[in-house]
Structures are given as C-alpha cells and as structure tokens.
Structure 1
Amino acid sequence: MNTPVRVLVHGASGRMGQSLSRLAPERRDLQVVAAVSGSRPSQRVVDGVPQFAASELYGVPNFDVAVDFSLPAGFDALLALCVERGAALVSGTTGLAPEQQSAIDAGAARIAVLSAANFSLGVVVLGDLVRRAAAALEGWDCDIVESHHVHKKDTPSGTALALGASAGQGGAEPRYAALRAGDIIGEHTVQFTGMGERVELVHRATNRDIFARGALLAAVRLADRPPGRYTLRDILLADQNATAG
C-alpha cells in the first residue's frame, strides 16, 4: 500500500495494547486511527488517537486492519466487525474457546486473519527448530516448560501449545509444565531427553516490545492480503522472499 495502513488497536489499555500505541509511531507505513479498551476511557483523545470503550466498538472510524490483544470475552464482537467492514484481523488473544477458533476459520473465508499466541520473530524460528529436532530424535521424551508473570491466566501458554504442535509435526508427544512467578515476560524451554543425553531449545523474552513490533509488522503485511487464515511464519517467509527477489 502507498498510503499508511489504518490500524485499530483493540485491548488498548492492556500491557500489549499500550506497547502497540507507543511503538506504532515508529512506523511510517501505518497509522493508528482508533484505540478500544474494555472500560470507558478517561480521555477521548490521546496523542491524536480517538479512544473508545468496548461497548462503543461499532462507532470506531474505518480501518484496514485490527490488532487485537484483549480477552476472549471481547473477541467475538471484534471479529464480527472486521468481517462486516472487510478489514483484516491480527489477534494475539489467547485462551479462545473451540467455537471461537471455528469462528476464525469461518471469518477467514471473507477476510485475512492472523491469530497467533506469540508475535516474537525468534519464536517462529524456534518452532521450526523444534519440529526438526522432534523428527530427528525419534523416541526421545519431549517436555515443554513455560514461565510467565503472575497475572497470566491461561496455562499452558498459547506459545507452549504452538511449540507442542510443532513437536507433534515431528512425531514427538510433548508434555507441559507451567510456572507463574513475578514479572517474567515469557520463557519457553523445549527439552528432548534420550538415554544419557539431553537437548534444550530455549527462547527468553526480555522486553515485551518484541511482541508489539512483530504484531505491527504482521498488520502491515496482512492488510492487503486476500481472505485466508495466515500464520506469522507465512508473513516472515513472504518478507524474506520479497527481499531475496
């Protein structure tokens, strides 16, 4: 797109939403046109961006893509709005129910959707390494240990489940363990254990901004895509191929 991608930030009062709003001005290829929070905002305009409550969602201005880091309770209305307006959706909301996942599949027939548990570019690479290790280490035990801050509600984390799916693609049967302590942003260890040896693949996030930057990149890349359900890996590979070409 020659003009900036118009972005709606959904879940703006949360940690990720605040990071998105703070980092978005770094990119010249997008513009935040509205921010939506669960409760009524104390200010109607912040740094030139109109603020809305979730109950006012249908009053937001037109946008090209919504970036969502909220809670499952607010997801359905946002997906419906994106489908109604023909806007793309990038969602990092975790803990969605099976019926909500089915709704994403249905919505992807009409709009471009990227739903991911983790928007770290390093985790995308980790998933590939886990799949390859699982395929090479047939019969080894596979354990995934994840650690997050005390306020994280879903367990195992969505990222741990995604890494488990990668391990499953390689033939492993992962087991999970979760820790909730202090202010840990996110740590994931995938351990393969054989007789007399062990392989560990680890990703540690030390700054939450990596997730926000990954989501903003995804928003720009997804905004002009045809309908379908995409992954962050799809976006990265497209970016690399375009650079190589």
Structure 2
Amino acid sequence: MKIAVVGVAGRMGRALVQAISEEASLRLSAGLVEPSSSLVGADLGELAGQGKLGLVATADLAQADFDLLIDFTSPESTLHHARFCAAQGKAMVIGTTGLSAEQKAELATLAEQMPVVFAPNMSVGVNLCFKLLEMAAQVLGDDYDVEIVEAHHRHKLDAPSGTALGMGEAVAGALGRDLKEVAVYGREGFTGARDRQTIGFATVRVGDVVGDHTVIFGNEGERIEITHKASSRMTFAKGAVRAALWLQKQPAGLYTMRDVLHLA
C-alpha cells in the first residue's frame, strides 16, 4: 500500500517516515510540505534522517501518488485534505487535534465516501487507557472526584490536548454525563467548594514534553491515578502505521483507534 504523509518535514512527519520504512507491507510514496516551504523538492529520506529515498517533498496533493494519506496537521488543513481524499476515494489516518464540532461533523460526512481512522491519540497505550478509564469510572461511580492533568511541549497549539479531552469524554460517558456541561478548564480566585459532577482539566506547556496524561479519581481516604507518559513520537507513528494496515481492509466509514485495537 502506498502511503503519503502530510507535514513530512515536521517532528511527527519524520517519525512517520521512519515507522513506514520499518513496515514491509507499506511504501512511502509521497510527502507533503507547505507551499511556502524551502524544503519543496528535498529528498524525503534525508528530511527524516534515513538517507536518500529518491522521493522529493511536494506542496501539491494532486501530484502525489498514494492509496492512503496520514495527516497530523491542523484542523483546516486536515479538512482540506479530507475533501480531496473523499473525492478521489483515498483512505486517511488522521491524528490531528483541535477540530470543532462542526469540523468533526463534516469529517463524518466525508467518511461516507472513504475509510478514515480518526483518533485524538494514535498510541496503543493511550487507547488502552481510554478503556481502563471507562472501567474505572463505571466501578467508582459518582462518589469520586475526577481531575485530568496533561503536559506537552511549548509548541503545542491547542489546549487541553485532544487526548485529555478524549479521556474526559471516556469518563463522562461511563458516568452518564455530558462533558460539555461538566468540564472545568482551570480555576482561579475564590471558586467555592468543588461540584462533585464536574471533571476538571489542568494544562501544562513546558520544554520538550512529548505528552503526559494523568486522570485522578479521588475520594476521602484514597486516590486512583491512571497515567500515560509518551517519551517519543514513535509511539504515535507506530500506532498510525497499525491503523493504516488495518484500514486497507475496511469499507468507507469513520473509525477510531479503538476499532483498530478491538477495544470498542
């Protein structure tokens, strides 16, 4: 299967090039960069520190030859690429975060024309945590306060992270709550006593942290903490490759990593 990677010159793009090169049944066939980038025409292997591959970076998706596109860019770019792929019948693996409700709705409509795996985090470990969080919330119930703490590098653009929100949605769903109604994004000043129904979020942006997430269930006398820490972007890249391998046998539709890992 021929794979194209968007944002191939970035940190995530370079990790994806490496992960694809390590999977015998996949072939990197194209890499996309911004039209204004000085790296248009650069060898994709050299960009990723893999040595020459004989493939050059392009800014025109229409010129790329691929079966599946992997996209970890921005909401606007991802939707633009999804419209193209839907029209051409190409598959997509999307790890972009920060999509609005309207953008997610458009993506779901486009997925009626192509197979798509869309997940806030491609890590196998994080998606296992989603399942564990649902189990914990179902057992602990409404007697436990829930707080979510996440940390990422200084360059991350959205907050809270898509993974943190996904964790919040997993817990809220298991408790029969609507996250939009119970989420608290930071506290300041005289806030009064904590509402037991709320789910709190705390965001840290510092240095080069790849991604740390902790969900705390707390009651008087005890705390249960479920934590995932990513030390390399390769964990996300390998998850995206696993999703690509799974997706090639699927019909049109919108899937998640939980479908890929049979955790649904």
TM-score, scaled relative to structure 1? 0.90
Structure 1 residue matching 2:78: 3-state secondary structure: helix
- Contact 1:126–1:203 (8 Å) recurs in 2: yes
* Structure 1 residues 30-81: Cα deviation after superposition (integer angstroms, max 9, x where no partner): 001100012443434432223111xx222212x2111001112311221011
- Contact 1:119–1:232 (8 Å) recurs in 2: yes
Paired residue type of 2:41: Q
Correspondence for 1:187 among 193, 207, 212: 212
Unpaired stretches in structure 1, ≥5 consecutive residues: 239-245
Paired residue type of 1:118: N
Paired residue for 2:173?
169
Paired residue type of 1:225: Q
Correspondence for 1:105 among 108, 118, 126: 108
Q: How many pairs does the alignment contain?
A: 231
Identity %: 38
Partner Cα separation in structure 1 for residue 62 and residue 80 of structure 2: 9
Structure 2 residue matching 1:138: 3-state secondary structure: helix
Paired residue for 1:141?
145
* Structure 1 residues 118-167: Cα deviation after superposition (integer angstroms, max 9, x where no partner): 11100111111111111111221000000000111100000000001110
What RMSD in Å do the two structures reach over aligned CA positions? 1.4
Structure 2 residue matching 1:144: 3-state secondary structure: strand
Partner Cα separation in structure 2 for residue 95 and residue 52 of structure 1: 25
Return structure 1 stretches of 4+ with deviation > 4 angstroms: none
TM-score, scaled relative to structure 2? 0.84
Which structure has the highest strand share of the two?
A: 1
- Between structure 1 and structure 2, the one with the greater Rg is 2
**How far apart are 1:206 and its partner, in Å?**
1.1
Paired residue for 1:160?
164
| Residue 205 (1) aligns with residue 211 (2) | no
Paired residue for 1:34?
30
**How far apart are 1:234 and its partner, in Å?**
0.6
Partner Cα separation in structure 1 for residue 43 and residue 64 of structure 2: 13
Correspondence for 1:12 among 8, 11, 30: 8
Change (3 A) 1:112 1:201: same
- Contact 1:87–1:223 (8 Å) recurs in 2: no
